[in-house]
A and B are shown apart, each in its own frame.
Chain A
Amino acid sequence: MTIPPEKRSPPALPEAHVNRPTLLADMDRAQVILVTALAGYGKSMLLAEHWRHASGPGPKVWYTVDRADREDGRLAAALGPVEGGLGAAGAALYLDDAHLLEGAEGACRFLGELLRQTPSLRLIMAGRGAPAIVGLQRISLSREVLTITGEQLAFTEEECKRLGAGESTYALTGGWPAAVALLGRGASGLQALLEYIAGEVLDALPAERLDLLAAAAVLGESRPDAARWMLGCEVSAGEVAWAGREQLAGYDPGRDAWRLHPLIRECVRQRLRRTPERWRALSRRAALWEWERGNGAAALEHALAARDEGLAATYLDVLGFRLLRAGDLAQLGRYLDKAPAAVLESVPDLVLEAAEGFRRALQPRQAVRAFHRAVVGYAGVHRHEGLLRALCGLGRTHADLGEWEEAGTAFGQAEAEMDGAQGPLRAEMLAVMGEWHVFRGRAEAGAALCAEAAARGESEGDRAGAGLARLGLAQALVALERTGEARAALTAARADLQGAALCRAALTEALLLLTEGAFDDAEPLLRNAVAGSPAQQAVRCWLKARLALPRPDAAAALRREDLAAAEALWREGEAAAPVADRPPGLSCVSSITAAWLALARGEWENAREHAFMASRLADELRLPLLRLAARRVLAACDGPFQQEVGAALHVQCLGIFRVQAGGQDLPLEVWGRPQVRALFQFLLVQPGFAASRDALLDLFWPDAPPADARGRLRVALTRLRRALTQVGADLDTAGDLVRIPPDRVGFVDLLAFRSHLAAARSRLPDDPEGALAACKAGRLLYGGDLLPDLSAGWADDLRRRVRQELMELLRLWRGAGARVGSNAEAAAALEEMVALEPEREEEFRELLRLLLQMGRRGDALRRYRRYVTWLKRELGLDPEPETAAVLREGFPRPRSR
């Protein structure tokens, strides 16, 4: 019989071998050593190390067992005569893979006989289990028998670190040496590891053991009663404990259950997913098991894994309403994000309530997603009332975000459905429609609808409906400059409303009163308002801050403690409604308050900027009361200018060209001719608002003879001076330079934008939070392209440059978001970048990745589809393979055999 040489020699020790001096010392003291552990625990390496370490006088024999050695007589023949004999003093027999002899009676008898006849022989065996050597128990009475298990072979945390593995590796592997080594190869290491486990551990197991593992892998633990339920057959405690004996699972005394080693569990689950039917069947059983035991969250996870939409919807409905009652929107949001669309659409009532909750809690994006699902859910089952509510909620949320086109579509669809609405629902929807008309500048129509809604509500005994309608009516009346009637409508609304709606009415009335200077009337409203949502808390704080500042008619100077109290209240409001994802309406109120605070501190520039931002936001939102409040503070910001030289100019040139003085828009007629206006616009965007006469001649009259051109320039400058004088500004034309004196220009949005850009650049390295704030402030100021209506070469060049500056700001915003750990901020910046320059596919990919990381899979898919359509339509291209790959990673397909 020829024995291959590799069976006779121990394996070479690898370079990165971890020495085991303690185990070696223990092995030296024992005569029979059994090393039993799973594959990959280093059993062979330990034997090989001992082989090299052992220095006795007698012969050492190494033999690696294989299946052929199970044949009767083969092992004895293979070991053959040993020089000096295995009976010599100090002789040692090393048997690797000894578990292969399990059940081989002849070989086990031979080993038992060998031990009996050679009392001084040391037998060192390694295997995944110990063969039943005949007579070993008797032998153990007279000789030292040592058993070394996987627990002792596993690397310690310290040993893992020495091998360069991180803490997470130790936590995942439990120190399993092969796992640590394979994971050290990175992402591909994990898959290689799972394949190793599948091949070395699972493939050798009989079907009934694999079934037990499958049940435990799905359920997360193994107990006799759970296993019986999962497999639908009798399972004994002994069978369940098998996994523990094989070191595949650990016992959890707290739960009286066995928990699979995480790697074994993951490997089994991966295998199961290749048989989707079985995976789903086991998941479904696990769902029912957990639900019976009151573990709703686990039951829902299993039902979703089972793709049992009916079961998942049932569980989600119960859990979801429980979470709503407990006010745990965060957990509810996680469930809604995980559940597929079909499940969400079968629980539209839950989803609609969740959407309304998200909207109140200042999570508008989540609210929009949920409203969408509710719309589809209700439409699918023809539930008209719910559909109407969902459409109106969707419209309002889009309006909160200033997304007017989307809001218009949602409201338009709601309006088309209104005919079917009756009773209190009709009154409520009329009020919403009325508000919508006010948003769109149709105040008269809005007032009429809201008044009708209020009357209907009263006649039908729906006081809450009537109250809400009066809130809308008040806004319409403010737009129509009938503020006295608006106050009366708000006071009447408060009499009808309760809870959060009452607070909303009180805060709206307080804002109106403060804007009108009626501080004494506003004070009790704010004192008694019980804020419900974070938004209401924030607004209440900001209005109280305004109340703490000097009244318009106050003669006494501001006291330091009053200013400190006002600033503290403002900060409290900021904390209640964090900036990220804050709806524009809240940002507007915050900016108005910040402007008043800055005025109180004498910070005129700061105040003007806040007032300007508030004014821009209020215009975007089209909320009459906010527009009124913003106009008042903007006018107040003129302060000393108004006293000395008239109102300072507030100029908007990003997105629109608009000049205001004293809070009032200057009509186009002020400029007389387009060229005079263009001259003013050119000077405004120059450093120091100045340009040389020669530059103006070259730019505006490049083809005219020089004398003509100079004459035309003189006339244009005269007209410009006349226009500026009318509004309290001036023009300095002495010498070669033509200049608008800077002290007459209160605010130019382009300059403020550039100032924030510079601040963001300088703050990003050391103060990413500050950089983030600067980026967002800068973005708010960028209302659109520079001087969009002006068609001139210089304007086109400058416009391009400013767009590049915007892109730089957005890049800084993305970077600052990443630095502060906010995916939402980074994603918001990327959305803007891609909207500005859709051909930036790399940025689009990054956006997709972030959306997927944030769990916004539906958003990611929608954006991807839109992007593909745009690429095809505009550029005739398909997306790059890398882009599709990002999406595929976020929507992994189940593997099929």
Chain B
Amino acid sequence: MFDVGVREMSGGLVLDLSGDFGREGGEAVMRAAQARSVLPGRLVLNFSGVGTMNSAGLGGVIWVVRAVTRAGGQVRVYGLTDHLRRILHVMGLVEYVTICADERSALA
């Protein structure tokens, strides 16, 4: 079961992700981003609650990253385990997102 919590913060929109990040997760992330009429200038993805991630989940992340960066915004992530960090690196996503140590630095 995958869940996406949405928080509006002064530094950007935060999506709190939890569960195993598969196809359901990828689609949930896309829906959460699409629910806003205007894409945020900064989108922060909180991976603290994410267990595993496969390509279907990654596809959702890629969609959101592309949409936000094309609209001139930025995507930051935090809460990555070493394993997830390596996956993002191997998948080449580190070029599109900024990995931050915590929420404070992600919203700074």
Contacts and interface: CB of A to CB of B under 8 A. Distances in A.
Contacts of B89: 406, 409
Interface residues of A, number: 30
Contacts of A862: 94-95
A550 B54 CA distance: 54
A96 B66 CA distance: 59
A372 B93 CA distance: 8
A375 B55 CA distance: 9
Interface of B is mostly: helix
A544 B3 CA distance: 61
A376 B95 CA distance: 11
A668 interface: no
Contacts of A409: 83, 86-87, 89-90
Interface string A862-874: 1001100100110
B94 A379 contact: no
A867 to B, nearest CB: 12
Contacts of A341: 95-96
Nearest to A381: B59
A406 B90 contact: yes
A865 to B, nearest CB: 7
A241 to B, nearest CB: 43
Interface string B74-93: 00000000010011011111
A373 B23 CA distance: 20
Given A380-B59, A413-B55, A417-B54, A375 B66 contact: no
A280 B31 CA distance: 32
B34 interface: no
Nearest to A411: B90
A865 B85 CA distance: 14
Interface in B44-78: 52, 54-56, 58-59, 62-63, 66, 70
A394 interface: yes
A861 interface: yes
Interface in A3-55: none
A869 B90 contact: no
A858 interface: yes
B99 interface: yes
Contact of A416 (B52, B91, B96, B101): B52
A413 B90 contact: yes
A413 B91 contact: yes
A405 interface: yes
A382 B90 contact: no
A410 B52 CA distance: 14
Interface in A327-343: 341-342
A309 to B, nearest CB: 9
A865 B66 contact: no
B92 A380 contact: no
Contacts of A382: 23, 55-56, 59
Contact of A384 (B55, B83, B93): B55
Contacts of A413: 54-55, 87, 90-91
A387 B99 CA distance: 24
Contacts of A379: 55, 58-59, 62, 91
Contacts of A865: 94-95, 98-99
B66 A416 contact: no
A382 B99 CA distance: 24
A394 B54 CA distance: 16
Contact count band on B: 20 to 34
Interface in A739-772: none
Contacts of A384: 55
Contact of A869 (B56, B58, B99): B99
Nearest to A382: B59
Contacts of B56: 382
Residue from A376, A858, A866 having most chain B Cβ neighbours under 10 A: A376
Contacts of A394: 90
Contacts of B101: 872-873
A369 to B, nearest CB: 8
Interface in A374-392: 375-376, 378-382, 384, 387, 391
A376 B93 contact: yes
A410 B90 CA distance: 6
B92 A373 contact: yes
A409 B84 CA distance: 9
A869 B76 CA distance: 13
Contact of B55 (A342, A417, A861, A869): A417
Nearest to A369: B92
B25 to A, nearest CB: 13
Contacts of B99: 865, 869
B90 A416 contact: no
Interface in A245-282: none
A146 to B, nearest CB: 60
A555 B79 CA distance: 68
Contacts of A381: 59
A742 to B, nearest CB: 46
Residue from A379, A382, A394 having most chain B Cβ neighbours under 10 A: A379
A405 B89 CA distance: 11
A380 B70 CA distance: 15
A416 B54 contact: yes
Contacts of B83: 409
Nearest to B88: A409
Given A381-B59, A409-B83, 11 more contacts: A341-B96, A342-B70, A372-B90, A372-B92, A373-B92, A387-B55, A394-B90, A405-B86, A416-B52, A417-B55, A869-B99
Nearest 6 pairs between A and B by C-beta? A372-B92, A409-B86, A380-B62, A409-B90, A379-B55, A379-B58
Interface of B: 23, 52, 54-56, 58-59, 62-63, 66, 70, 83, 86-87, 89-96, 98-99, 101
23 contacts: A341-B95, A342-B66, A372-B91, A372-B92, A373-B92, A375-B90, A376-B92, A378-B55, A379-B55, A379-B91, A380-B59, A380-B63, A382-B23, A387-B55, A391-B90, A409-B83, A409-B89, A409-B90, A410-B90, A413-B55, A416-B54, A417-B55, A865-B99
